[in-house]
Chain A
């Protein structure tokens, strides 16, 4: 085959160790960005449904700013301006990259949490409050468990989006998949092999994540089905 003669596998093979490091970096960046983003996103989302103005507005502004500006710009600002100003020096691309991904993903996750909470019928909150539960208890026991089920598909989408957006960390010299490909491309002055391979790696990773999300969705939906409790005498 002409195409495969043209395609030089040896380029990829020679750089296999660097690619492995790049894959590892992509996974670590994505996972830590996502987990941090979900954690802070939950609080931002709760803040956005708060009736207290001094909680609502800061959360709302945060989300609007981070969703309304490109992550590329955010990463450059954090890496080159914010962190050096606060710490007096760069903390390296790992720190800047993870911080950037967390801050950005938190804004998107906040919107998912907000929408999920607001999609629950307000009768649920009223029923819980009328039983004497506090707002916090009602959220924890009644609203959030229902909202989480609805949030799983969009939270999964956000995970995939972040996985792909982690490639932006390249601009601050973060040695993830795309960065490695750029190095390879620069060394050999060949572009098909490294970039096509990068695309292939992202495709495999997103495919795996999609499968993972499907499993989670299935497990959570079981809860709505009847189950018999054991250990209670039938009378």
Chain B
């Protein structure tokens, strides 16, 4: 479903991704772990071209997305994204946050968009907050709204960029639970995370990145239980107690 070939990304002279090759199948949940500065967020952001690709190719369902002829807006409607800082629109109610893109991009009628948004709010357990503004919600609630907003476009792939890193500890689980439900429903997911428990439990595969490379990848039981690479071992030694 996603195929990455020899992906390079430079920020000026700094090379953040130094040749990534990877393939993600439909309905797979891939968790990307690694120390900060390893390039894992950049890798994720390349997958919907929030970062311009310096070299290499990314295919989503066979379409090369970093081809100048590809309409990136069409690709992005199929690829939902959830950010560390939620990035909800503060001038819109929760409901409007979710309805906006389906109405603007998919040209849904208002009534249909509203029904869709309310259904999604049911799904994340926040229907009661439909008429509130984002800043009246807790961090965990905001992130659940952000997930609902991304789902409103009915994407085939969901990207999560450290979705729980900005949350107070007691709110992490409510967000992870929503993500677990999504995984169970068969959503293809790429999750950059520091939640090793989540990666282990929900991930079909775990990808350890360091220094702009994929250092190690495999089934979570293997990567966590029996890491092969020294850097993986050192990293896991620090984060798992």
Name A's B-contacting residues (CB within 8 A). Answer: 121, 123-124, 126-134, 137, 141-142, 145-146, 149, 223-229, 232, 235
User: For residue B89, which residues in chain A have a CB less than 8 angstroms away from its CB?
Assistant: 124, 127-128, 142, 146
* A133-B105 contact, Cβ under 8 Å, with A224-B133, A226-B131: yes
* A130-B133 contact, Cβ under 8 Å, with A149-B91, A223-B91: no
User: For residue B228, which residues in chain A have a CB less than 8 angstroms away from its CB?
Assistant: none
Closest residue of chain B to A123 (Cβ to Cβ) is B87
A224–B150 Cα distance when bound, in Å, is 23
A123, A130, A228: the one within 8 Å of B131 (CB) = A228
* A54 CB, nearest partner CB in chain B, Å: 18
User: For residue A124, which residues in chain B have a CB less than 8 angstroms away from its CB?
Assistant: 87, 89
**A134 pairs with B73, CB closer than 8 A:** yes
Given contacts A133-B101, A146-B89, 14 further A-B pairs with CB under 8 A are A123-B85, A128-B89, A129-B50, A129-B73, A130-B150, A131-B77, A132-B74, A132-B153, A133-B104, A141-B100, A145-B91, A146-B91, A229-B95, A235-B127
**A132 pairs with B101, CB closer than 8 A:** yes
Instruction: Say whether B3 faces chain A, with CB atoms less than 8 Å apart.
Output: no
Closest residue of chain A to B81 (Cβ to Cβ) is A130
User: For residue A121, which residues in chain B have a CB less than 8 angstroms away from its CB?
Assistant: 85, 87
**B91 pairs with A126, CB closer than 8 A:** no
**B153 pairs with A224, CB closer than 8 A:** no
* Secondary structure class of chain B's binding surface, majority of residues: mixed
Closest residue of chain B to A224 (Cβ to Cβ) is B133
A126, A131, A133, A225: the one within 8 Å of B150 (CB) = A131
A94–B95 Cα distance when bound, in Å, is 50
Instruction: Say whether B132 faces chain A, with CB atoms less than 8 Å apart.
Output: yes
Closest 6 CB pairs of A and B: A132-B77, A127-B87, A131-B101, A130-B81, A123-B87, A132-B105
A134–B95 Cα distance when bound, in Å, is 21
* A224-B74 contact, Cβ under 8 Å, with A131-B153, A133-B105, A141-B104: no
A57–B50 Cα distance when bound, in Å, is 25
20 contacts across the A-B interface (CB closer than 8 A): A123-B85, A127-B81, A127-B83, A127-B89, A128-B89, A129-B50, A130-B50, A130-B150, A131-B80, A131-B105, A132-B74, A137-B104, A141-B100, A146-B91, A224-B91, A224-B133, A225-B133, A226-B131, A228-B131, A229-B93
User: For residue B135, which residues in chain A have a CB less than 8 angstroms away from its CB?
Assistant: 224
User: For residue A128, which residues in chain B have a CB less than 8 angstroms away from its CB?
Assistant: 89, 101
* A132-B73 contact, Cβ under 8 Å, with A224-B90, A224-B91, A226-B136: yes
A142–B114 Cα distance when bound, in Å, is 19
**B104 pairs with A130, CB closer than 8 A:** no
Closest residue of chain B to A126 (Cβ to Cβ) is B50
* A226-B83 contact, Cβ under 8 Å, with A132-B73, A137-B104, A232-B114: no
B74, B80, B95, B127: the one within 8 Å of A130 (CB) = B80
A44–B105 Cα distance when bound, in Å, is 27
User: For residue B150, which residues in chain A have a CB less than 8 angstroms away from its CB?
Assistant: 130-131
**B76 pairs with A131, CB closer than 8 A:** yes
* B27 CB, nearest partner CB in chain A, Å: 21
Closest residue of chain A to B105 (Cβ to Cβ) is A132
User: For residue A132, which residues in chain B have a CB less than 8 angstroms away from its CB?
Assistant: 73-74, 76-77, 101, 105, 153
Instruction: Say whether B149 faces chain A, with CB atoms less than 8 Å apart.
Output: yes
User: For residue A141, which residues in chain B have a CB less than 8 angstroms away from its CB?
Assistant: 100, 104
- Tell me which of B91, B100, B150 has the highest count of chain A C-beta atoms within 10 A of its own C-beta: B91
Instruction: Say whether B141 faces chain A, with CB atoms less than 8 Å apart.
Output: no
A130–B81 Cα distance when bound, in Å, is 6
A146–B88 Cα distance when bound, in Å, is 12
Instruction: Say whether B143 faces chain A, with CB atoms less than 8 Å apart.
Output: no
Closest residue of chain A to B122 (Cβ to Cβ) is A235
Instruction: Say whether B48 faces chain A, with CB atoms less than 8 Å apart.
Output: yes
